[in-house]
Chains A and B, each alone.
Chain A
Amino acid sequence: MPGLAAQVERYSVVIAIGGVPVRVNTADPDFLEMLQDRYAGFVSANAEAEFDFDVDLAPATFANPDADVSVMQRSGRWFMERGDFRAEWNPATRSGIIHQSANPYSIDAVLRIVHTLVLARQGGFLLHSASAIRNGKAFLFAGVSGAGKTTISRLAPADATLLTDEISYVRKRRQDDGYVAFGTPFTGELAKLGENTSAPVAALYLLAQGPENRIDPLAEADAGRELLANMLFFAEDQEMVHWAFQAACDFVHHVPVYRLTFVPDARVWELIG
């Protein structure tokens, strides 16, 4: 007797950002192809994954990706919602589901949230900053929109490896008090994916554009305040606030933080590395 329900073909892609492989499952081969293109360079050939997400594609009735993101924890599960998606993630079972239309922006937001939650418990964070590797060391360039993240990325010399022009991925090393920056596919105005590589963080620069190139060290408390202002985290969850706050304080205690005032031309990179 034939089955009552037809078996649905599932397609999967493993997206590894910051060394954390996340498998995304979909029944739509076109969506799979779009993901493979979108995350090229971050698609892992290894089938092993730390987390699994099923994507339930709906017609494009969801709207407004500019709406606020809502992230709530209930009974150990995380619920995420924006105008263009709804998602649920259970860290205990390492699995989740995303309801969205077939677009790259919704799943991108879910991945950012999930990585932020994973990193927070490990003393790491996502940061509104460009980052690049030079001479084997990673440098972060943080600032709000318009501060110069795209400009400093565009001016990077040929010997610099761009990790991201928009969202940096910072993980605390287990063996010491150091930090490592990873490349991310989270792009800004440059619309260029970062390289999927990593290096120890040597410094954080807080960007400001001015009449001359100069570097000024920041006091620890100033650095902490500025870092917190640029971190991605979820504001009203007590545990998350504690993790994020401690992560920022630890970071500025161990990594030099400077104000980088720069004229928007390539000479600024003479001061970096």
Chain B
Amino acid sequence: MSKKLYLARSPRVAARKLGEEMLVMSGQGSMLFTLNPTATILWQAADGATPLDEIVERRICSEFEVKPEEAMRDAETLAEDLAKHGILLISEQPIAGQQIANSDAPAQERQQL
């Protein structure tokens, strides 16, 4: 049996739903992302406490016609991708608020004016 995965929103990004699209802006390099519907579900459900398999079962399988195993594989890949871009935090343990805060780091900025 595979390990549980927990997701939390990175405090280093800002997010907002405009119309039907979820926009996320990362503090790292001010990259702007538009989340697809599945990524939007993961983002909205990423509370640090709900395991990914539960999110997939309750939110993704009910929304899209997809087999649970396939949905889980895709969701893991997507979550890892979002984590690589600094949008989500992933852990095999529930992620507490303090851990989320500690993932934050001092920032500098550089921009052409």
Quick one: closest B residue to A80, CB to CB? B113
B19 and A235 contact, CB distance less than 8 A: no
Checking A68, A221, A237, A252 against B107 with a beta-carbon cut-off of 8 angstroms, the contacting residue is A237
A235 and B23 contact, CB distance less than 8 A: no
Is the interface on chain A under 10, 10 to 19, 20 to 34, or 35 or more residues? 20 to 34
How many angstroms between the C-alpha atoms of A69 and B113 in the bound complex?
7
A235 and B14 contact, CB distance less than 8 A: no
Quick one: closest B residue to A167, CB to CB? B113
How many angstroms between the C-alpha atoms of A2 and B62 in the bound complex?
88
B99 part of interface (Cβ distance < 8 Å): no
Q: Which residues of B contact A228 (CB under 8 A)?
A: 25, 32
Checking A109, A225, A240, A246 against B113 with a beta-carbon cut-off of 8 angstroms, the contacting residue is A109
A72 part of interface (Cβ distance < 8 Å): yes
A54 part of interface (Cβ distance < 8 Å): no
Q: Which residues of A contact B32 (CB under 8 A)?
A: 225, 228
B44 part of interface (Cβ distance < 8 Å): no
B77 part of interface (Cβ distance < 8 Å): no
B23 and A237 contact, CB distance less than 8 A: no
A97 part of interface (Cβ distance < 8 Å): no
B112 part of interface (Cβ distance < 8 Å): yes
B107 and A238 contact, CB distance less than 8 A: yes
Checking B27, B34, B104 against A236 with a beta-carbon cut-off of 8 angstroms, the contacting residue is B27
- Interface residues as binary, A198-239 with B (CB distance below 8 Å gives 1, 0 otherwise): 000000000000000000000111011100100011111111
Contact residues, A47-102 vs B (CB, 8 A): 68-72
A246 and B16 contact, CB distance less than 8 A: yes
What is the distance, in angstroms, from B8's C-beta to the closest C-beta of chain A?
A: 16
B18 and A221 contact, CB distance less than 8 A: yes
A112 part of interface (Cβ distance < 8 Å): yes
